[in-house]
């Protein structure tokens, strides 16, 4: 690579701040980053000081010639960190809705501080991009359509994702989960795998299968009775 190419990369990509990087001073350059067009590098007194999101830089109206104090630089870095956490959360939400706890845990694993995560979540909640009540309804509807299961397992899954117990109950009630129909659909699909078993053994296996899917026995009993109407074994 030519020296000109090397120099260009140093000015357009975000450099790694040196230990003695300026913490205050006058803005001498604001340069778009080559590998991330949504970020810029800010130079103070001729030396790289920090990187910041393009939108944050525009909102702060940063411009060459402006003098930045230590406090102002730190404030800009905090704003940028919140912006980075928010963007990371939006990428997670692009695949499917998520609960507040899910977003918080994923951002923590990415190395963000909790105070930064809390601020990012506040922004996302303000935009209604994350909402535990809506997430719970989505989860229940999605399960009902693609992976039917009982109320007990639905509650367990949503509680694991940090959704409040009352919010979970409301979501399940709103969607009006028909447990018996769901259990019957699952049981009919599973029954063929027990076709070589003794009917009584197949019955016990099916009961266990439905219990693991979160159905209580008062839902399972009529389903199994219907499918094994010629079996004499008592289900009590």
What pLDDT band is residue 17 in, cutting at 50, 70 and 90? Answer: low
Answer yes or no: is pLDDT of 8 > 50.
no
Q: Which two tokens stand for residue 221?
A: 């009993």
What pLDDT band is residue 6 in, cutting at 50, 70 and 90? Answer: very low
What is the C-alpha R_g of the chain?
Answer: 28
What pLDDT band is residue 10 in, cutting at 50, 70 and 90? Answer: very low
* Predicted pLDDT of residue 21: 78
For 131-177, give the CATH class: mainly alpha
Write out pLDDT tens, residues 138-169: 999 999 988 899 999 999 999 999 999 999 99
C-alpha distances (whole Å) from 24 to each of 6, 43, 50, 156 are: 27, 10, 11, 51
Architecture (CATH level 2) of domain 69-130: Orthogonal Bundle (1.10)
Write out pLDDT tens, residues 68-87: 999 999 999 999 999 999 99
What pLDDT band is residue 30 in, cutting at 50, 70 and 90? Answer: very high
CATH fold of 1-68 reads OB fold (Dihydrolipoamide Acetyltransferase, E2P) (2.40.50)
- Mean pLDDT score of the chain, rounded to an integer? 89
Answer yes or no: is pLDDT of 119 > 50.
yes
* Predicted pLDDT of residue 19: 63
SS3 of the chain: the string is CCHHHHHHHHHHCCCCCCCCCCCCEEEEEEEEECCEEEEEEEEECCEEEEEEEHHHHHHHCCCCCCEECHHHHHHHHHHHHHHHHHHHHHHHHCCCCCCHHHHHHHHHHCCCCHHHHHHHHHHHHHCCCCCHHHHHHHHHHHHHHHCCCCHHHHHHHHHHCCCCHHHHHHHHHHHCCCHHHHHHHHHHHHHHHHCCCCHHHHHHHHHHHHHHCCCCHHHHHHHHHHHCCCCCCCCC
> Where does residue 233 fall: left (phi above 0), alpha (psi -120 to 50 degrees), or beta otherwise?
beta
* Predicted pLDDT of residue 14: 56
Q: Which listed CATH number (3.30.1330, 3.40.50, 1.10.10, 1.10.20) goes with 180-236?
A: 1.10.10
The domain segmentation of the chain, as residue ranges, is 1-68, 69-130, 131-177, 180-236
Answer yes or no: is pLDDT of 9 > 50.
no
C-alpha distances (whole Å) from 63 to each of 49, 74, 211 are: 14, 17, 64
Q: Which two tokens stand for residue 80?
A: 């940028």
* Predicted pLDDT of residue 164: 96
* Predicted pLDDT of residue 7: 35
Write out pLDDT tens, residues 87-112: 999 999 999 999 999 999 999 999 99
Q: In what order do the strands lie in the sheet with 36-44?
A: 47-53, 36-44, 25-33, 67-68
* Predicted pLDDT of residue 12: 43
Whether the domain at 1-68 and the domain at 131-177 fall into the same CATH topology:
no
């Amino acid at each position: 690579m030519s020296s000109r190419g090397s120099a260009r990369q140093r000015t357009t990509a975000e450099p790694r701040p040196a230990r003695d990087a300026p913490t205050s001073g006058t803005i001498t350059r604001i340069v778009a980053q080559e590998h991330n067009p949504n970020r810029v590098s800010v130079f103070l007194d001729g030396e790289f000081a920090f990187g910041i999101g393009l939108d944050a830089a525009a909102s702060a109206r940063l411009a060459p010639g402006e003098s930045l104090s230590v406090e102002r630089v730190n404030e800009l870095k905090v704003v940028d960190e919140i912006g980075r956490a928010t963007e990371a959360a939006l990428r997670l939400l692009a695949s499917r809705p998520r609960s507040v706890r899910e977003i918080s845990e994923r951002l923590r694993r990415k190395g963000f501080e909790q105070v930064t995560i809390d601020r990012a979540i506040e922004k996302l909640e303000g935009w209604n991009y994350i909402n535990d009540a809506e997430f719970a309804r989505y989860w229940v509807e999605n399960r009902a359509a693609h992976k039917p299961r009982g109320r007990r397992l639905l509650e367990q899954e949503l509680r694991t994702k940090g959704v409040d117990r009352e919010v979970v109950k409301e979501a399940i009630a709103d969607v009006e989960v028909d447990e018996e129909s769901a259990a019957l659909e699952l049981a009919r699909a599973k029954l063929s795998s027990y076709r070589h078993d003794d009917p009584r053994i197949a019955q016990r296996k099916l009961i266990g299968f439905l219990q693991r899917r979160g159905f209580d026995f008062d839902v399972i009993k009529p389903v199994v009775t219907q499918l094994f109407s010629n079996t004499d074994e008592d289900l009590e």
